[in-house]
Amino acid sequence: MSTSKAAPGSASGVTSRAMLTVRGFHLDGYGHVNNARYLEFYEEGRWGYMLAHLDLADLKREGIAMVAVNVNLDWSYPATVHDELLITTRLSHVGRRKMIMHQEIHLGEHRMGEVHPRSGVLVSRADFTFVLMNTASGRAMPLDGEIADMLRPLVAEEEA
């Protein structure tokens, strides 16, 4: 199984970044991003991370799926229409049975072509817990052997 696209043995791990712009259909009746939309924003960030650093086709051929089993999400600041959002994604923990992806959303540098006065402000943070599932049996798998050896170098510490 050769599922890692990251440099092997990297001591610093991997952090992925994705940008998106808030659109009118993302908003709730109060004029800021609806709470459920954040799950979609975070998923966009995770897909970018996984496509850049994991061979998803290889995992599928091996009969392995990454399945979310828990999410903890905190909101700090309301995002509104036209805000540019920066989503960071990193693998923060790989244990024997689960892994945790830590994600944050910050206001981007710009809003409608102008410098955003609140650029860099933390909008939200979330921790997503995943297990590996054997797709044939539908049961969780241990994170050991080759797959653990591939995932552990991706773990990134919190950035200062």
Catalytic residue among 28, 74, 144, 149: 28
DSSP, res 41: H
Paired tokens of 33: 């991003």
Structural domains of the chain in order of their starting residue, each with its CATH number: 15-154 (3.10.129.10)
Q: Say what the pLDDT of residue 1 is.
A: 41
Q: Nearest CA to 39 among 29, 24, 26, 49?
A: 26
63 to each of 53, 66, 74, 160, how far by Cα in Å?
18, 10, 33, 37
Residue 12 — pLDDT band, cuts 50, 70, 90? low
CB atoms < 10 A from the CB of 43, how many?
14
Mention every residue, 6+ apart, whose C-beta is less than 8 A from residue 25. Answer: none
Band the pLDDT of 23: cuts 50, 70, 90.
very high
The pLDDT tens digits of the residues spanning 112-151 come to 889 989 999 999 999 999 999 999 999 999 999 888 998 9
Instruction: Give residue 123's pLDDT.
Output: 98
pLDDT band of residue 6 (cuts 50, 70, 90) is very low
pLDDT > 90? residue 160: no
Q: Share the mean pLDDT of the chain.
A: 90
| 129 class by beta-carbon count within 10 Å (0-12 exposed, 13-18 middle, 19+ buried) | middle
Q: Given this model, what pLDDT does residue 93 score? A: 96
- Structural contact between residues 155 and 99, judged by C-beta atoms closer than 8 angstroms: no
144 in catalytic set: no
